[in-house]
Amino acid sequence: MPRTLVLDGPRQLRLSDHPSRPLRSGEVRLRSRLSGISHGTELSLYRGTSAFTDKVFDRGLRAFVAPPAGSASAYPVTLGYEMVSEVVEVGAGVTEVTEGDLVHTGTPHQEETVLDVEESLRTTYPLVVLPTADDLDRALFVSLAAVALQAVHDAEIKLGDTVSVHGLGAIGLMTVQMCRLDGIQNVIGVDPDPQRRDFAKRVGATLVLDPANAHPVGVSIRELNDGHGVDVALEVSGSDLGLQGALAAAGLGATVVAAGFYQGGAANLRLGEEFHHNRLTLIASAGGWGVPNRHAPLWDRRRIMATATRLLYTGQVSVAGMLDRRFPFEEAPEAYRWLDEHPKGAIKVALVYGDSTG
């Protein structure tokens, strides 16, 4: 019987059996090969620090509200949105995939998934058919590459801009590369981890900075940039300290794109400093929760995902070496515990299913 990873409460994970069922018209059955653990969204749910722990997002009101009286707890919940699977059975009426195809889907960590194809194509991370079975690790990064691409689009960077990227995890490292692909010659990477800074230099960052230095990051950037702040700062760490660094790095009238999923308060923000005095524009970058693309109707989620996949599979965006820790699916609770205790211990962590080697 296939198993699903279930979170019963903060730091309470278990593997739960769920029975297989016959396919309905329009559905496919997927056998899991690899799934990625999100260092931001998933860890916040695992730790119990997410906004969804005690509130719900009312899509009609477009506001976070208290859950309805008498409603069930936020738990149990499933985790995951970076799944690589093989199509093992195709239901009636399905034409988008065939048996044997490898696909990326925004579905939870589980050994088997039954998916309504048309419904999947309308989700935040719609089903993507992978172009080849070679180097399967690349497929794990499709959802994260879409986050990076959305942020770069929202930034509307221009040829000749100087750009800083704050947070050099997997999303940040891909953001650096996409900025270079966009013609940006001066991309400054910012991260306290020396290994991630070195990685950023290998994939195209022209300069890297440690924000933990005594010298303020905003001043350091100006010293390196002819006395000016950056034209665009992209914040992808998901921390309020990182966001404050992005605000401090930005020049007069510049744009700051906040692509991280921030949790709780923001004690490190200083909105009376550079944000106010430099009249900055702060943009939230998100592709989910019914948010239309800023460049709709030309761009939508399916086009974002298809473009992210193409960038990965043509080698224009490289993720070689980013997947540096794997756990068997049976050890998923241990994988989350390890990542919780060592958040900088790996750029990307994957769960591996069966005898899949990626």
Q: Are residues 164 and 94 in the same domain?
A: no
Joined together, the tokens standing for residue 199 give 């990685």
Domain membership of residue 65 as a residue range: 3-130+322-352
pLDDT of residue 40: 87
Q: Is residue 170 part of a domain?
A: yes
Do 115 and 154 belong together in one domain?
no
Residues 214 and 260 in one domain: yes
246 Rama class: left (phi>0) / alpha (psi -120 to 50) / beta: alpha
Q: Are both 121 and 149 inside the same structural domain?
A: no
Q: Which pLDDT score is estimated for 356?
A: 58
How many beta carbons lie within 10 A of that of residue 18, not counting itself? 14
102 and 158 both lie in a single domain: no
pLDDT (0 to 100) of residue 336: 97
Structural domain includes residue 296: no
Same-domain pairing of 22 and 113: yes
> Does 299 fall in a domain?
no
* Structural domain ending residue among the three candidates 234, 265, 284: 284
Quick check: 33 and 113 in contact, CB under 8 A? no
Give the pLDDT of residue 55: 86
Q: Same structural domain for residues 150 and 228?
A: yes
State the total domains in the chain. 2
pLDDT given for residue 108 in this prediction: 97
pLDDT for the residue 306: 97
104 and 165 housed in the same domain: no
Beta-sheet pairing, 186-190 with 162-166: parallel
Contact 78, 60 (CB under 8 A): no
| Residue 94 structure tokens | 């399905």
The reported pLDDT for the residue numbered 168 is 97
Beta bridge partners of 114: 29
Q: 89 and 62, same structural domain? A: yes
Report CA dihedral (72, 73, 76, 77) to the nearest 10 degrees. Answer: 100
Same domain as 172, residue 264: yes
Asked whether residue 302 is assigned to any structural domain, the reply reads: no
Both 74 and 182 in one domain: the answer is no
CATH number at residue 52: 3.90.180.10
Residue among 79, 138, 135, 74 nearest 106 (CA): 79
pLDDT at 70: 63
- Please report whether residue 81 resides in a domain: yes
Q: Is residue 311 part of a domain?
A: no
- Flag whether 17 is in a domain: yes
DSSP assignments along 255-323, one per residue: EEEE-S---S--TT--IIIIIHHTT-EEEE----TTPPPTTTTT--HHHHHHHHHHHHHTTSS--TTTE
Q: What is the residue-level pLDDT of the chain in tens, covering all 358 positions?
A: 999 999 999 999 999 998 999 999 999 999 999 999 999 889 999 998 888 888 888 889 999 998 887 666 678 999 999 999 999 999 999 999 999 999 999 999 999 999 999 999 999 999 999 999 999 999 999 999 999 999 999 999 999 999 999 999 999 999 999 999 999 999 999 999 999 999 999 999 999 999 998 889 999 999 999 999 999 999 999 999 999 999 999 999 999 999 998 988 899 999 999 999 999 999 999 988 889 999 999 999 999 999 999 999 999 999 999 999 999 999 999 999 999 999 889 999 999 998 755 4
For residues 222 and 174, state if they share a domain. yes
- Round to whole Å and give the CA distance between 140 and 138: 5
Instruction: Report pLDDT for 41.
Output: 87
12 assigned to some structural domain: yes
Last residue of a domain, one of 255, 284, 313: 284
Q: How far, CA to CA in Å, does 34 sit from each of 69, 193, 337?
A: 39, 27, 19
Q: Could you tell me the CATH number of the domain that includes residue 224? A: 3.40.50.720
